[in-house]
Structure 1
Amino acid sequence: MPRARVDDVGEVPASLVEVLRGLPLADLVAFRGVQDELFRRDAYRWDLWAAADLINGGASDDGFEYFLGWLMAQGRMRWEATLADPDSLADVVEVDAGDLDCEEVLYVAPTAAADEEAFWAALPDKGEYLPPRPAGECFDFDDEQRMRRLLPRLTAIFDDEDAR
């Protein structure tokens, strides 16, 4: 069965910056607050990090954040589907898709600000938006059995030596 196409996110950050440009500083800070809350409350989880690690062939702290930026740039439907079931990414990603990341989405609000320094100074948490640990049970992403139980479809695509 053919997979749905992963949307190219190359233009998303620039388009968002254009939409946000000219908004009052308080609105830009509020926009960043919504992004941060979506990451903190919904997406900063071990199971989703495992999916990013599998798809991208590894995911450092920053790499996981950039993966979340990519996921956010995919739009609400993909975001919600992935949060409900990280293994559903098997419907849209291909082995040869390259790294799925979009760091620029994380910085659209400060980029749109007339004064970026004032933007960062106005943040209540000064940009420290992630909790100390992801939600859920921490486990070793190199545990193949655990990964196959957690993400069976993604593992079949990305951990299969013949698929590479």
Structure 2
Amino acid sequence: MAIMDGDAFWAVVEDARAGVDDTRTAEGAEEVAERIENRLTELGPESAVAFALHYDVLGARSYDGNLWGAAYLMKGGCSDDAFDYFRGWLVTQGRRTWERALQDPDTLAELGVDPDDDFLECEDMLGVGRRAFGEEEAFYRALDAARGKLPAETFERPAAADDFDHDDDGEMRARYPRLAEIYLERAPE
């Protein structure tokens, strides 16, 4: 079993996004995840595992301090688990948004997310492959077997980004000027 290539992975995501009114909301992101799960169920167990493998690769590559800082700013705080769920939400925003956010997290300001909506999570994305596969133990056996055929570095996280204080408004404004304009309180003039 092979990992799903990026084009096939994102085709499943983009097809699932089609017709969802607003993927930026928790409800919209969950609807995308449900549609992905349904599509993977149709495609069969091998596709469910292949999708999960590619999702794991994206998860490793996006475990980045700069993206985490943007999530922290947008959500008003962001634990390790919340960052996982944020990245699930980010996948539901589509390939272009995902790729741009990894390159420059400040581009997330362009999404027009309501600054009062700090949920910005889609935990359901973390398990779409498992649920589409069906039987949980069999899924993890298949996933482990498929992982074992890939080079270990496939799932390596990037080198640690600069460590910085997410509660330092000045630092956040310097790193994410457009997001800070939306999500940070303005100091009185």
How far apart are 1:84 and its partner, in Å?
1.8
Amino acid at match of 1:85: D
**What is the total number of aligned residue pairs between the two structures?**
155
Task: Report the TM-score, using the length of structure 1 for normalisation.
Answer: 0.83
| Farther off after superposition, 69-78 or 140-149 | 140-149
Task: Report the TM-score, using the length of structure 2 for normalisation.
Answer: 0.73
Identity between Structure 1 and Structure 2 (%): 41
Amino acid at match of 2:103: A
Do the aligned partners of residues 50 and 146 (structure 1) sit closer, same or farther apart at CA in structure 2, a change above 3 Å counting? same
Amino acid at match of 1:78: T
Task: Show the counterpart of 2:169.
Answer: 144
Task: Show the counterpart of 2:83.
Answer: 64
| Farther off after superposition, 21-30 or 90-99 | 21-30
Give per-residue Cα distances to partners, 1:40-68, cap 9 Å, x unaligned. Answer: 12x11001000111111111000000000
Please list every run of 5 or more consecutive structure 2 residues that lacks an aligned counterpart in the other structure: 1-21, 149-153
1:29 equivalenced with 2:49 (yes/no):
yes
Task: Show the counterpart of 2:181.
Answer: 156
Q: How far apart in 2 are the matches of 1:138 and 1:96?
A: 27
Task: Show the counterpart of 2:160.
Answer: 135
1:79 equivalenced with 2:98 (yes/no):
yes
Say which of 110, 120, 124 aligns to 1:104: 124
Q: Alignment RMSD, CA only? A: 2.4
Higher helix share: 2
Equivalent residues of 2:60, 2:158 under 8 A apart: no
